[in-house]
Amino acid sequence: MSPIPGAAQKLLKHPAGWIASGFGSGLAPRAPGTFGSLAALIPWLAMRELPLVSYLVALAVAFAIGVWACEWTMRRLAVHDPGLVVWDEFVGLWIALIAVPAHWGFVVAGFVLFRLFDILKPWPIGWADRTIKGGFGTMVDDALAGLCALAGVQALAWWLGTP
């Protein structure tokens, strides 16, 4: 992945750029998606304390804001789904960690599963990535990766008998 010349200067002057770049975490020179996912854990520490309904509402709002911010960023940079756009990783990871059991092993499992689904893009994630464009398309494939990771984490918790 080649860096986009002047991207930081173009993005960090506008709230949409800050959001889309995961508050700058997507500007990491290597593995911006992983750095964005790691950065997403910081606000998640507060979000995990929310009641489930409030958590889901926060996710829906974050997704909607992400559609706007990602669309703005892609138009500003004239690049479809640039690697520095990582708000989709934030939301995808937050989906993966819905109602995660209170043990760091499950958080790590959710993180790893989300990154694997996001990178490998099995069906339907890959289909969504190739087919759905714009800010919504950028957000939806990571939301699907998050749902797949969520299923994996919850299945693991069930298999281990963890409440």
For residue 117, being part of any structural domain is answered with: yes
Q: What is the pLDDT of residue 1?
A: 43
For residue 50, being part of any structural domain is answered with: yes
CA dihedral (38, 40, 43, 44) positive or negative: negative
For residue 2, being part of any structural domain is answered with: no
For residue 65, being part of any structural domain is answered with: yes
Find tokens 């910081």 and name the residue.
42
For residue 43, being part of any structural domain is answered with: yes
Give 13-58 pLDDT, tens digit per residue. Answer: 999 999 999 999 999 999 999 999 999 999 999 999 999 999 999 9
Distance of alpha carbon 58 from alpha carbon 27, whole angstroms? 25
For residue 1, being part of any structural domain is answered with: no
Distance of alpha carbon 3 from alpha carbon 89, whole angstroms? 19
For residue 136, being part of any structural domain is answered with: yes
For residue 133, being part of any structural domain is answered with: yes
State which amino acid sits at residue 35: F
User: In sequence order, what DSSP letters do the residues of the chain get, joined into one string?
Assistant: -PPPTTHHHHHTTSHHHHHHTTTTGGG-SS-HHHHHHHHHHHHHHHHTTS-HHHHHHHHHHHHHHHHHHHHHHHHHHT-SS-TT--HHHHHHHHHHTTT--SSHHHHHHHHHHHHHHHHH--TTHHHHHHH--HHHHHHHHHHHHHHHHHHHHHHHHHHHT--
Q: Which domain holds residue 36?
A: 7-160
What total number of domains does the chain contain? 1
pTM of structure: 0.95
Q: What is the pLDDT of residue 10?
A: 79
Q: What are the residues whose beta carbons fall under 8 Å from the beta carbon of 133, sequence distance 6 or more?
A: 80
Tens of each residue's pLDDT in the chain, 163 residues: 446 777 778 788 999 999 999 999 999 999 999 999 999 999 999 999 999 999 999 999 999 999 999 999 999 998 888 899 999 999 999 999 999 999 999 999 999 999 999 999 999 999 999 999 999 999 999 999 999 999 999 999 999 998 7
